[in-house]
Amino acid sequence: MAEGVQLTQVDSGARYEVFHTDCPARDVVGHVTSRWGIWVLISLQGNDLRFYELRESIQGVSEKMLAQSLRALVADGLVWRRVEPATPPQVTYGLTEFGREVGEPLTELFGRITRRLSPRDAR
């Protein structure tokens, strides 16, 4: 929505940044910081996981939303998806290099918030 061309035509003296609506990064940021996307990326930081492992790892996510989030992250090039042709089928997800790059600040973010909220529990 609001796809109008929006240039950074700020008066040169402006002291604040402008985030234009058509910035392509906004979509990716949206997916990354989506309700479940962030947990997917953090979960996959440690190791590759299968679909059901992700579902069990991320408390409260529904299969629908997990699949949807994964699709968006794969499309953005943050997550890869490998299908093992077996019965029962096996699908594994993992981070691409871009995904690791992005997951790192997210993990840091989560860590800082957790530490601040429960100083004694976070060690």
Cβ burial of 57 (10 Å; 0-12, 13-18, 19+) is: middle
Q: Nearer to DNA by C-beta: 83 or 117?
A: 83
Give the phi and the psi of residue 9 in degrees, each rounded to 5. Answer: -90, 65
Under rule CB under 8 A, residue 90 binds a copy of itself: no
CA distances from 120 to 105, 110, 116 (A): 23, 16, 9
21 to 60: interface string for DNA, x by CB under 7 A? -------------xxx-------------xxxx------x
Report which DSSP code applies to 120. T
How many C-beta neighbours within 10 Å does residue 101 have?
11
From candidates 29, 43, 65, 80, binder to DNA by CB under 7 A: 65
Count CB atoms within 10 A of the CB of residue 46.
11
Kindly state the number of chain residues that form the binding site for a copy of itself, as judged by CB under 8 A: 46
Three-state DSSP at 77 gives coil
Q: List contacts with DNA (CB under 7 A).
A: 1, 34-36, 50-53, 60-65, 67-68, 70-71, 81, 88-91, 93
Q: List contacts with a copy of itself (CB under 8 A).
A: 2, 6, 15-21, 24-25, 28-30, 32-35, 38-39, 42-43, 46-47, 49, 53-54, 56-60, 98, 101-102, 105-106, 108-110, 112-114, 116-118
